Chain A
């Protein structure tokens, strides 16, 4: 068992450094469903099987064709004629024996007719190269079941992704600009006591130069506040004056020249960090104001019970502040001083966390549920986020379409938005002709005319007064609905990355449409 663990640690070492053990655990508990094992689909699954998702199930009613073998790495010429779900499952499974691979030889439409609840069991459903009508049906089944749905498509030199999730909660958003949580603007009592235990004026020289900068800044802030009407330095000028105060605190040798005290240098450098006000950030404030936070019921997901408990904490024990994070940055200090400072923050964080769990418990009790929070990861309240996507029906509805987004993007006729409109137009073509334009070379010319009509009727239907250049119509006919492998490979990487975000609840996924233009190597995201 221990051996198996080491083995895994080694195998996954390079990714554990990105999403940690708990992210890996979430992956290993996930069951992902892929609808259609076309090249884009198997590329996505490959990138999920390698990092070790728990299980996958492929749903596909197609038989393997020669064309499939030509662009799909997970099919070989002896798979021709077999069911595509089965053939690809076998080869994908080989990539990682820790992953359980399953397949269903069934057309998704039929599955939706006979057993729509089949799809409820998955952590995530990914559909590729799925025709529009089926996609909309599947989308509404999953929307109602609150199962995240990722639509992915490779069409010639264009890639498309659409995330359909009612509510996705992000526990660790990994913001690029995460600030330290030091509370120096409003120190909690234990921190104040700890600061008071230092007497900078009557210290050995070595202790003086090994006092953590947090203590130094806190000490001088006390002094500053006494002299400035209990106001912290607010603007650049005052902060500069405060830095000067710190500079003056550096010990001088017998000749009056300042000693080198790196901890003071660090303190001066960190004045801004230290003065960062400890307030609840806007994105978390939004969570507090959400309806799901207000009304906790027995059906409330764990995330919202947690958010509510944090809100209660802020209003009660926290006196307006979030629970203390409990981690401090590395700084110049000797081990003893650093560790005791670290402990002050850590203890407080544990106390705050305990207070939050009491709130959780009381909410659960109120709705008649037992506490099931055993292994809650040490999360950080400031990094909680929530993402709401629009449903596909809203995007497709004539009254609910995001017309403004489309029209304003189309001010530039070469915006990636035009590719979206073209994709919608080829779907319209498919509806009328039961095939995509340009799939047979001899029909390309005729199809150009037909596709143009589709573009017009689409624009008319939605009342869009935008101009779609003829070039794009020609281009899309030339694509012949092909799925070039290298574009599929790109989409496989990009979609799998979003899937990992969704499964681990780390990082914020895109919302809600992603378009890739492989010819120009550009991409864009839209809210549709």
Chain B
């Protein structure tokens, strides 16, 4: 009897329920691999696993079910095969697919007694959260980032859901900062990623890279117009065609591209002289380079020029190979794509008098790389299964949110278990009648923005239907193709939407209805299209972050903004609450920081400390008093 080993500590009924229950594992990456192993060896028999990702070399340092010869194959499929090799008796179903695909509807989720997330991005987490709420199936949520990790349990009506606490929206950069006046390396890196898409990938109107003449700061005098006109002569014809078409017409000639991007466009920027009254003006570059470069270091301008040329040539060849209308997808682990961004970003940094960055650092920032190691994932996956056992034992009172520290904290605890919070009655997802108020200008906001930016991006819907509560039930947006596309370009006011209007947004797949109250406002801050009333303001960054932390925690793939990749990138993101969020001026995104209040039940003292600081970053002064709140002074 192989199970003898666990039958002792786990009661027999529980062991029986393990072999009959069905569980879903969402994600077969760092945590997912460990989790599958732990599940089968704990006695779980019926497991389904879903992941749309394929295996990359950089996964192999921790995703132990994969080997070199599996690179490029489906994670879910290979994970299943590897587990079966060792445990042939398990019954595993693998889906190489996105969990957001409508095939995985509420009925699908109801097949399971338990769902476990091993995900890497907020969109999918939001979605699975809603599916589990709709199906009323318990969910275990988890994430890791470097040495840090977290596990929590979500049960409809009993605990907070994943979206009960607003997560700060990621920092985005105003278009004119990216296009005209970059002041930090990250601005140049974002610009270079936009450029990649403009040249080789999917063009996106929000990712313009050429000088922005509408920059309010640059409002010029009439007499200067002549100078500007002559300066823009040479790209006068570029304006009428897209960047991509122009690049194509030159045959992706690296020198022509270089001259336009790093010389002509910069000279054009110089003519917007108001911008340079207080700033140091950029210095256009001439095409030249010298031989002799080393990888992984900060190169000379010549070196980057050469790298730019080489990478454009490689990408051009890739594009050609794929056919005429092909598009490349930027991937940080694809060397030519990474070379291109490193080169273009560094050249721009140089032009704008910034210190250039090594490829290694650019990769961190451009790819929003979260360091990931086997040990943290192993610990977290071990914790997940123990929580799973409590859930299957219907022992929700014993379930905890558990934080894994980098090292034992001043109280000598490596793990910090916290009692689960009750649902937030005002949650816009799990409340009985979810409702939000959105501040926007009805004359300036188009239906497309409501759909894409507000309902999909902000409120995590996948395919919303929207009806105006105007007594007539006017359909504003339909998720059926071909029904309401004509509305997309129209303003909300065109449909009689005004201050106080109520919109009912439905997502059929998520079985989720959200009532949106419109608060009309004429004047929103620059570059802001809408605001959600009562949204938690972004937490002020901690005053000082140690140098090495800056480079390891700078971001995650949830930062939808600078990330242009559409494919699932990396795994295992810390889901909430890290005080190590980057404050560095060189980083682009904040970790998802939840200002979660936390009821800590200390096993030794039974005390409850609310608002416990997640990580004890302060000097390890022996801390025996009850208050762990630390106020960090600058």
Mark A residues whose CB is within 8 Å of B.
7, 9-18, 39, 43, 46-47, 50-52, 66-67, 69-77, 91, 94-97, 156-157, 174-178, 205-206, 209-210, 259-260, 269-270, 272-273, 327, 329-330, 332, 334-335, 338-339, 412, 414-416, 438, 478-480, 482-494, 496-497, 500, 507-508, 510, 514, 516-526
Contact = CB atoms under 8 A, between A and B. Distances in A.
15 contacts: A15-B372, A17-B371, A18-B371, A71-B41, A76-B86, A175-B546, A176-B617, A260-B278, A272-B634, A493-B378, A493-B380, A519-B386, A520-B603, A525-B413, A526-B412
Given A46-B378, A494-B375, A497-B379, 15 more contacts: A15-B373, A71-B41, A95-B64, A176-B615, A210-B280, A272-B634, A414-B603, A484-B6, A484-B10, A485-B42, A488-B382, A489-B378, A496-B378, A516-B415, A525-B414
B376 A178 contact: no
A119 B176 CA distance: 64
B37 A11 contact: no
Contact of A67 (B4, B584, B616): B4
A485 B38 contact: yes
Interface in B37-78: 37-38, 41-42, 57-58, 60-62, 64, 67-68
B496 interface: no
Nearest to A522: B603
B537 interface: no
B417 A520 contact: yes
A414 B604 contact: yes
B544 interface: yes
A51 B413 contact: no
**Looking at chain B, what size class is its interface with the partner chain?**
35 or more
B566 interface: no
Contact of B58 (A14, A50, A178, A259): A14
A260 B277 CA distance: 11
A392 to B, nearest CB: 20
A486 B412 contact: no
Contact of B383 (A260, A479, A490): A490
A177 B407 contact: no
Contacts of A14: 58, 61-62, 369-373, 570
Contact of A209 (B278, B385, B407, B415): B278
Contacts of B588: none
Given A70-B5, A177-B619, A330 B585 contact: yes
Nearest to A94: B67
A80 B494 CA distance: 75
Contacts of A272: 633-634
B373 to A, nearest CB: 5
A273 B373 contact: no
The 4 A-B residue pairs with the shortest CB-CB distance in the complex, in nearest-first order: A493-B378, A490-B382, A70-B2, A493-B379
B586 A330 contact: yes
B5 A47 contact: no
A47 B378 contact: yes
A517 to B, nearest CB: 8
A74 B604 CA distance: 37
B60 A11 contact: yes
A160 B633 CA distance: 37
B376 A497 contact: yes
Contacts of B259: none
A526 B411 CA distance: 11
The residue among B147, B383, B400, B414 with the most chain A CB atoms within 10 A of its own CB is B414
B229 to A, nearest CB: 27
Contacts of A69: 2
B551 interface: yes
A508 B7 CA distance: 37
Contact of A334 (B280, B373, B378): B280
B1 interface: yes
B500 interface: no
Given A334-B280, A489-B381, A521-B417, A497 B375 contact: yes
A238 B368 CA distance: 41
B142 interface: no
Nearest to A483: B5
Contacts of A176: 406, 546, 549, 615-618
Given A177-B617, A497-B147, A412 B605 contact: yes
B265 interface: no
B314 interface: no
A308 B447 CA distance: 71
B408 interface: yes
A370 to B, nearest CB: 32
